[in-house]
Copies of this chain bind each other. A is one copy, B any other.
């Protein structure tokens, strides 16, 4: 198997990508094709000891940044690592693609170059969501801010398959984010989506309230990309704010500083729960080939885990399963 890796994406730059790729080939049975500025990447690779035939480099001079308008960037920067990487994927030069670059550009490029699975209305970003009980999968985390009920139904189907095959959760509980748990609650979008999901053969548990999400009430959390993005970012913001405030309070007294010291291992294991690096990246579901977005601030560990994830994505044949299920389940 060969995984294509965007050498230029991510806030921490090519060094972490190269380090993560080297770690990956040592740990996994995989070859890697790094796409990016050849000279720089080859120079960085020369610092490592590894089986040389396992990593190739494909030159791509341009870099798409996070500030650029995604669709425009994909059209204009034909020599960017994202465009060349996705083209390589589409041309079967590799089996999956990982990038820590612009989410919007990766999505736009994925739709434009790799293309959607037949019968899939919209591709979605799925994100692993750490809960106090383990992990859930949130779909859509922000790709589609305006949705139709049918899209939500397809997000649920794709999320359920991914959750079962890649996260290893058997018969995942699928919940629809709503303002109340009762049937008939919600805006017109979720009311219609509720009915579609009820008819599906998913393990659908109905409406879920946002207050129960961090508690792990569902394995697959389904919402439109606007609400999903709000859920994801508010969760991050709450975790950060609570810890910052707690720290502030702790530093007000000597005694509490000692208290915090005694609590250190507990606080550490708690923070680890929230560590995105442990969970790999966010798959783009609905495309014809496996594409995974690694976190923007990925270090080598996060890159390696994202590569591992896309290896799994390929191995478990998730895309074929989505194709089959979507035709069986979908009402479109």
Contact = CB atoms under 8 A, between A and B. Distances in A.
Contacts of A215: 237, 240-241
A259 to B, nearest CB: 3
Interface string A259-295: 1111101110110010000000000000000000000
Given A145-B186, A227-B230, A230-B231, 15 more contacts: A179-B226, A186-B226, A190-B226, A210-B230, A211-B233, A211-B234, A211-B237, A242-B242, A245-B270, A246-B267, A253-B265, A256-B262, A256-B263, A256-B265, A259-B261
Given A259-B260, A262-B262, A265-B256, A214 B230 contact: no
Contacts of A225: 179
A174 to B, nearest CB: 18
A interface, over-half SS: helix
A183 interface: no
Given A179-B225, A179-B229, A259-B260, A250 B266 contact: yes
A255 interface: yes
A241 B214 contact: yes
Interface in A176-197: 177, 179, 186-188, 190
Interface in A203-237: 209-215, 224-227, 229-237
A252 interface: yes
Interface residues of A, number: 57
A246 B233 CA distance: 21
**Quick one: copies of this chain in the complex?**
2
A231 to B, nearest CB: 6
B273 A146 contact: no
Nearest to A269: B249
Given A231-B234, A260-B259, A179 B266 contact: no
Nearest to A209: B233
A244 interface: yes
Contacts of A231: 210, 230, 234
Contacts of A269: 249
B179 A142 contact: yes
A131 B246 contact: no
Nearest to A268: B249
B187 A245 contact: no
The 9 closest A-B pairs by CB, nearest first: A259-B262, A211-B237, A210-B234, A249-B266, A259-B263, A238-B238, A214-B241, A211-B233, A145-B187
